[in-house]
Amino acid sequence: MEIAKTIPQIRTLVDEKRKAGKSIGFVPTMGALHQGHAALIKTAAAKCDEVVVSVFVNPTQFGPNEDFEAYPRTLEADIEKAKEAGARIIFCPERSEVYGGKSFIQFEITELGNRLCGASRPGHFNGVVQIVNKLFNIVRPDVAIFGQKDIQQFRILEQMTAEFNHNIEIVMGETVRAADGLALSSRNTYLSTEERITAPALFGFLQQAGREITGLALQHIANPREKLSTEIREICTKAEKRLNENGFTADYVEAVNYHDLQSVTTINSGDRIVVAAAAKLGKTRLIDNLVLTV
């Protein structure tokens, strides 16, 4: 395993691989690697000759009352897991290496950032765009893989890559789930034993909403429904209510278009609809989503 802690070190390593004719896959992470990350690394390894994994808990994407300090930091174990999954290079910089001095530039994300998690985590996606933009310029990979679980992050980064002309293929890795359906997340380690038993219900309610929205979408395509958006909202509100009745505090359940992440108002055959949910269970904020193609 080759470990780079500074920007010149990672650039030299990547340049060497490139000169040897190797393609570079990249999996940016905040560490605390689990099977979900392992799947992203395996996808990168299947597509590219070399895989770089970055491990950096990015301060600029955490709000003042969020879990930046508490976020699990497990670098030694992460290196082992990344290696097992097929990565050969780790980039694990210190904060001062990435954020040298005062930053005078902020990103403004419009429609893609104002709904779903963007509504309750102001500034979060600006921080994500800031760090991934930096990492793309530092590592300059051919392919970068991000998980579907963070669908809003995925869509924003896909758009950022296109708008900022990064010559990088963005690939979506499927959500990896525990046997009971809970989407794997580094934050699942915060759940108490009791909360862990309740947690998979989030996916259950999401699936139920997904089935109902698919049914409605198919009816709409066959015979357009005037009140489609109201009916979709009712399904989402019912799912929020179910969450609240089952020990969660729902933040949102929403059905949005994949392209602009805005509420679905009409549906055509072949459209991609994201049904996404966020809810707190105790102190842990869980997110999950389904992408429906109707």
Q: Which residues are the active-site residues?
A: 37
- Residue 126 contacts ligand PAF per CB under 6 A: no
How far apart (Å, rounded) are the C-alpha atoms in residues 127 and 129? 5
- Residue 78 contacts ligand PAF per CB under 6 A: no
Q: At closest approach, how far in Å is the CB of 146 from ligand PAF?
A: 6
- How buried is residue 224: exposed, middle or buried, by Cβ count under 10 Å (0-12/13-18/19+)? exposed
- Residue 131 contacts ligand PAF per CB under 6 A: yes
How far apart (Å, rounded) are the C-alpha atoms in residues 93 and 107? 22
How far apart (Å, rounded) are the C-alpha atoms in residues 63 and 150? 17
Listed ranges 28-36, 40-48, 99-107, 238-246: which one lies at the site for ligand PAF (CB under 6 A): 28-36
- Residue 132 contacts ligand PAF per CB under 6 A: yes
Q: At closest approach, how far in Å is the CB of 194 from ligand PAF?
A: 27
Of the candidate residues 14, 52, 58, 161, the single one contacting ligand PAF (CB under 6 A): 58
Residues 227-286 that bind ligand PAF (CB under 6 A): none
41, 79 in Cβ contact below 8 A?
no
| DSSP class per residue in 250-274 | EEEEEEEETTT--B-----TT-EEE
Q: At closest approach, how far in Å is the CB of 29 from ligand PAF?
A: 5
CA triple 113-117-120, angle to 5 deg = 100
- Residue 30 contacts ligand PAF per CB under 6 A: yes
- Residue 128 contacts ligand PAF per CB under 6 A: yes
44, 143 in Cβ contact below 8 A?
yes
Q: At closest approach, how far in Å is the CB of 135 from ligand PAF?
A: 8
Cβ proximity to ligand PAF: between 124 and 242 the closer is 124
